[in-house]
Amino acid sequence: MASTNRIIELSSLIARETALINDFLVKNNLPTPSLDADALQSIPIPDSATDIEAARTAVIEACSELKALMTGPKELLRFKWTAYASVKAILRFKLDRSFPVGESTSFEAMSKFSGLSEMNVRRLVRHAIINHRFFQENAPGVITHSALTAILSRDDMARNLLVVELDEFWPAGVKMADALERWPNSEECNETGFSLANNSKKSMYDIFAENPSRGERFGQYFAQPGNVDDGIFDNYPWGDKQTMVDVGGSYGSVAIGIAERFPNMMCFVQDLPDTVVEGASRVPAELQKRITFMAHDFFTPQPLSVDVYFFRSIFHNWADKYCVKILQNLVPALKPGAVIIIHERVLPSFDSMDTVDARRAINLDVGMLQLLNAQQREIHEWPELFRRADPRFHYLGAHQPAGAMRWIITAEWRG
């Protein structure tokens, strides 16, 4: 049972940490957070201001808990079954791009733009304003952009993120329980909520292969700019190695980063045929002699004998039985002392369940279940996965670099 003073503790924390953030913004002549159309896309806290970022996280978490406490358990049980219906319709009919940022529009004009009735436009837009801060209506029937729709109207990448989440991920989540009932404990990637949502017996990968436009849109979702480093360059002794292969390495961002920093390294990148052709075209001229792209299916025997086999965010796409196969297909090429590095999220331990990073990892874990019958893993599950693949793998351990999202999980082939 929550302490009777918890709401006071939370409100005091919110006030204290918000004041700290505000003082930082004022001192550095930075704007106050706003959701108006001309607002900054994010609060401008530099990476060096770790205390301010910690305060921001604390405020977000405290606000969430305080809202839950003040709502009460019975009302919290109510499911918001219309939650993102309006947002999906707005994106589908491009209402966010029906008028320029800085100008206003009307329900009538949005109706003519979209082909929807004025009544339906009005009810969708007002639902989105109330529930998601999409658009603003500061005078009756006069619609302007909010910060959110201003971003969507101008940023193709941000818009694609939301479209994929609502058109691909959300329907799969709705069907996940049905898939679990139909195929209890399945590890097959074509027996999922995603398969049911698409009325198909095929996996997500095969469905996208047959629908190039959807596949391209999905690929763009994961091509969003991010932290290529995420601790991998400075938290592993690459200088002691001479060769590495990035298995499923996409366009080679990690291999390029390693080759740039460690001139002794010869790097290989393996992926699908079309991907490696595009990746090879992106390699800087000065690195082309030390980075080689090759088509390879990691469910077939590995052809390269190197010092390091690197996997970033690969294993979480597959159930255990398939991860075991991926590791076993390395065996024919392995020499004693070869190292396998797995670079991906790890599920939180019990004592860290209440962190922002933990919530993201757990949400992603369920996301992988609904899409592929795949999973995120707890730290103790990794040595067992290597043992199942072959007892000659020696698990070396795992650590999460400071500030990184992913962990560095390593094993050595003892032969």
Active-site residue list = 316
Q: What is the CA radius of gyration of the chain?
A: 24
CA distance 408 to 257: 16
62-85 burial, b at 16+ Cβ within 10 Å, e below that, comes to: beebbeeeeeeeeeeeeeeeeebe
H/E stretch holding 136 reads: strand 136-139
Count of residues making up the chain: 415
- Ordered strands of the 308-312 beta sheet: 291-295, 266-271, 243-247, 308-312, 339-344, 407-413, 393-399
Q: How many helices (H) and strands (E) does the chain have?
A: 18, 10
Instruction: Name the DSSP letter for residue 354.
Output: T
Position of tokens 């366009």?
A: 251
Give residue 21's Cα distance to chain centre: 27
Nearby residues of 135 by Cβ (< 8 Å), 6 or more positions away: 125, 128, 129, 143, 144, 145, 146, 149
Contact present, 341 and 409 (Cβ < 8 Å): yes
CA distance 23 to 16: 11
CA distance 28 to 25: 5
Crossing angle of helices 212-222 and 156-164, in 10° steps, is 110
For CA atoms 207, 211, 212, 218, the dihedral sign is negative
CA distance 214 to 28: 44
Contact present, 125 and 133 (Cβ < 8 Å): no
Q: Is 325 helix (H, G, I), strand (E, B) or coil?
A: helix
Give residue 358's Cα distance to chain centre: 13
